[in-house]
């Protein structure tokens, strides 16, 4: 799923291409995409784009006077920029938004059709779609610590909960927790002041560095390599590969449709976190420490 760094670069390119342009048409290729009834799509046609923004993990295209196109890419949704009037791809194509400056195409590489489109009128209606998470890069250390301490989630869950912090997901939470040298299952209220400061700084560093990296990789071209698994990542998607900090094999816990990737030596004092399904299967044979794997 695209997260804050990827979405930020998307927004920069969308803003450059769309602000000042007029919406000329909305073409839907999937009956499951549109999740709102009013306003009608035709009511937005002819209105000028005044800017683009992000609402948690949602992309918002703002039209005059107060119309909004709100797109949630979910796990497999992606954007393509094409010449005006470009056809919607037969495979995975969900919609096309025709502007006077070109066509924005929405695709989804999944049969589950989770990506969504909402057409909204009014700032108050738009605010209803905001889960309420704070923007980590815009808050100070004290505000970060206060918000984090209010939740009973584990650190991994708290960082990815859009009601707590906005824009961080499964991938970058793994990278942040490695940089902070903290267990993904540690509880926020158990953090020392020094650990809280490390986590705050890791959030700032990882998100800023990856945004800059992805911006540089895209250059002037519209981003086409938006993915949750970047080869340069330290631990996310790197199960059994060596940790870049200590060389120990990266560990993984899979739960539901998510996973936590971590370094046992750097983050959990060598302890292996129990995967529920495997630990239930192996019982006493489940390895407890990194050395048990060697």
The structural domains of the chain, with segments of one domain joined by +, span: 4-127, 137-293
Distance from C-alpha of 167 to C-alpha of 95, rounded to nearest angstrom: 24
The correct CATH number of 137-293 out of 1.10.8.50, 1.10.287.3510, 2.40.30.10, 3.40.50.700 is: 1.10.8.50
Residue with tokens 């794997």: 293
Give tens-digit pLDDT for 251-268. Answer: 999 876 778 999 999 999
Domain 4-127 bears CATH identifier 3.20.190.10: yes
- What local confidence, expressed as pLDDT, does residue 58 receive? 98
Give tens-digit pLDDT for 1-12. Answer: 899 999 999 999
- What local confidence, expressed as pLDDT, does residue 227 receive? 83
Mean pLDDT of 121-145: 97
Query: What pTM was computed for the model?
Result: 0.91
Residue 275's pLDDT band (cuts 50, 70, 90): low
With a cut of 50, say whether residue 280 has pLDDT above it.
Answer: no
Residue 169's pLDDT band (cuts 50, 70, 90): very high
Residue 288's pLDDT band (cuts 50, 70, 90): low
Burial (CB < 10 A; 0-12, 13-18, 19+), residue 181, is middle
- What local confidence, expressed as pLDDT, does residue 279 receive? 47
Name the percent of the chain lying above pLDDT 90: 85
């Amino acid at each position: 799923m695209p997260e804050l760094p990827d979405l930020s670069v998307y927004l920069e390119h969308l803003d450059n291409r769309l602000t000042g342009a007029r919406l000329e048409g909305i073409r839907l290729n999937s009956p499951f995409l549109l999740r709102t009834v009013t306003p009608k799509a035709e009511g937005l046609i002819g209105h000028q784009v005044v800017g683009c923004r992000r609402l948690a993990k949602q992309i918002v295209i703002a039209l005059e006077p107060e119309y909004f196109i709100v797109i949630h890419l979910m796990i497999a949704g992606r954007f393509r920029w094409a010449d005006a009037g470009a056809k919607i791809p037969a495979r995975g194509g969900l919609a096309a938004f025709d502007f006077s400056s070109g066509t924005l195409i929405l695709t989804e590489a999944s049969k589950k059709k989770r990506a969504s489109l909402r057409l909204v009128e009014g700032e108050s209606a738009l605010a209803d779609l905001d889960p309420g998470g704070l923007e980590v890069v815009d808050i100070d250390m004290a505000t970060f610590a206060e918000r984090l301490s209010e939740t009973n989630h584990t650190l991994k869950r708290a960082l990815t909960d859009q009601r707590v912090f906005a824009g961080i997901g499964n991938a970058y939470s793994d990278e942040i927790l490695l940089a902070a040298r903290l267990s993904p299952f540690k509880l926020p209220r158990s953090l020392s002041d020094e650990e809280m400061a490390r986590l705050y700084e890791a959030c700032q560093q990882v998100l800023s560095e990856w945004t800059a990296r992805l911006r540089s990789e895209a250059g002037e071209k519209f981003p086409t390599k938006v993915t949750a698994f970047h080869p340069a990542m330290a631990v996310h998607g790197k199960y059994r590969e060596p940790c870049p900090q200590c060389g120990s094999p990266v560990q993984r816990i899979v739960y539901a449709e998510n996973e936590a990737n971590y370094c046992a030596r750097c983050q959990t004092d060598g302890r292996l976190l129990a995967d529920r399904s495997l630990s239930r299967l192996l019982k006493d044979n489940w390895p407890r420490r990194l050395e048990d794997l060697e």
